[in-house]
Amino acid sequence: MSAQNLLKVAGLQMRFGGLLAVDGIDFDVRPNEVFAIIGPNGAGKTTVFNCVGGFYKPTAGDIVLDGHAITGQPSHMVARRGLVRTFQNIRLFKQLTVLENLMVAQHLKVNRNMLSGLFATPGYRRAERAALERAAYWLDRVGLKNVSNREAGTLSYGHQRRLEIARCMITDPRLLMLDEPAAGLNPQEKIELQQMVDGLRNEFGISVLLIEHDMSLVMGVSDRILVMEHGKPIMIGKPDEVRNDPRVIKAYLGED
């Protein structure tokens, strides 16, 4: 891997029948960087996310994570390489408790040996204890300690978003992909979300790839931003460059 990038996307294209939803998208995400993708509705942001995260197989292009080609690999494979994501429509195990959601996330990663689980070997019990400790740490870290035994589906929207992020972070990712994390949050929750993203990046050295419509969050948290329109790139730049670029203003406001 080049020290310059953790994720490299080149010539990405995704066609749905006659529709070119994404075409000619190139960008990289550097270590410890928050990189956002913005653009009007239907610009192709989610499609890029789904290609990078292993949910779609792109029609063309290359996706390289940490020096490994992951183009077209399924999401569980890219997750093993340290790329995890949240969803626009939150996807938790709603009938499980908050704590159970964090335990399940770890079992997918560490406990692949069913026999040791069945016979509760010392190694299994040790791993289970460690998993509980990690869950307790993350509950505390995202402010959900007091609701650890509540069913996830009964939490407020803001708390469900935090749990989704904790569930990603507990797997030790290198790249955290957040799909419209501010959707449905109130102004105070948005401020807390921005602080959380910033804090996670600083403390754990992760990179963050973000899709978001809330401009104050995007401008406040991102190092660089890719602006898309009709599946194509308009520009990549720092928040100030993007904010003042006439092409971006035109894409959002349309032509008179």
Ligand X SMILES: Nc1ncnc2c1ncn2[C@@H]1O[C@H](COP(=O)(O)OP(=O)(O)OP(=O)(O)O)[C@@H](O)[C@H]1O
Look up residue 143 and give its DSSP letter. T
Nearer to ligand X, 50 or 106 (CB): 50
45 makes contact with ligand X (CB under 6 A): yes
H-helix or E-strand containing 254? Answer: none
C-alpha distances in Å from residue 192, one per residue of 33, 60, 161, 163: 19, 38, 11, 14
Task: Locate all alpha helices (DSSP H) within 113-186, ordered by sequence.
Answer: 114-118, 122-141, 157-169
Burial 190-215 (b: 16+ CB within 10 A, else e): bebbbebbeebbeeeebbbbbbbebe
Write the single-letter amino acid at 55. Answer: F
* Of 1, 11, 16, 205, the one binding ligand X by CB under 6 A: 16
Residue 248 C-beta: closest distance to ligand X, Å: 14
Residue 252 C-beta: closest distance to ligand X, Å: 12
Nearer to ligand X, 14 or 98 (CB): 14
39 makes contact with ligand X (CB under 6 A): yes
How far is Cα 232 from Cα 214, in angstroms, rounded to an integer?
Answer: 21
209 makes contact with ligand X (CB under 6 A): no
CA atoms within 13 A on the CB side of 11: 5
188 Rama class: left (phi>0) / alpha (psi -120 to 50) / beta = alpha
Nearer to ligand X, 23 or 164 (CB): 23
Nearer to ligand X, 141 or 224 (CB): 224
24 makes contact with ligand X (CB under 6 A): no
CA atoms within 13 A on the CB side of 256: 0
184 makes contact with ligand X (CB under 6 A): no
233 makes contact with ligand X (CB under 6 A): no
54 makes contact with ligand X (CB under 6 A): no
157 makes contact with ligand X (CB under 6 A): no
Read off φ and ψ for residue 97, nearest 5 degrees.
-75, 170
- Using CB under 6 A, which of the segments 4-12, 34-42, 135-143, 237-245 binds ligand X? 34-42
Residue 2 C-beta: closest distance to ligand X, Å: 28
46 makes contact with ligand X (CB under 6 A): yes
How far is Cα 239 from Cα 222, in angstroms, rounded to an integer?
Answer: 7
Nearer to ligand X, 19 or 215 (CB): 19
- Using CB under 6 A, which of the segments 39-47, 77-85, 139-147, 182-190 binds ligand X? 39-47
The CB density around residue 183, as the number of other CB atoms within 10 Å, is 15
- Using CB under 6 A, which of the segments 26-34, 40-48, 95-103, 245-253 binds ligand X? 40-48
19 makes contact with ligand X (CB under 6 A): yes
Residues contributing to the site for ligand X (CB under 6 A)? 16, 19, 21, 39, 41-47
